[in-house]
Structure formats: structure tokens, C-alpha cells
Amino acid sequence: MSKLTTTIKHEFMEMLPPTIFFFVILHIVAIIRALTTKGTDITLPTSASVTVAAL
């Protein structure tokens, strides 16, 4: 069981940096899109959908 938990921990730590990167970058893109379309009636994705896209 120890080898399994070690492997899972290793894989999680490998997955964490790209997930954080895409989380931040996609939120920045969503903010920029919201600012550029301000005043129009275009619907934008919510923060929850951006978070799911980052994962």
C-alpha cells in the first residue's frame, strides 16, 4: 500500500503545476474578454466553467 500512495502522491505533484498555470491563465483571459466586451450583450463564461476548463 505504501508504494501505491507514493505513486499517487508523485503523480498528483506532477499534475499540480500545469493545473495552476492553466487556472491562472484562463482566468486572466476571461477577465480580458469581459473587459473588451463590456457594454455589449455578449454572455461570457462563468468562473466555474473556467475552473473546469483548467482541470
pLDDT tens-digit map of 6-42: 999 999 999 999 989 998 998 898 888 888 887 777 6
The pLDDT of residue 30 is 85
How many Cβ atoms are within 10 Å of 30's Cβ, its own excluded? 17
How far apart, in whole angstroms, are the C-alpha atoms of residue 16 and residue 28? Answer: 19
Model confidence, pTM: 0.68
Residues 30, 47: contact at Cβ < 8 Å? yes
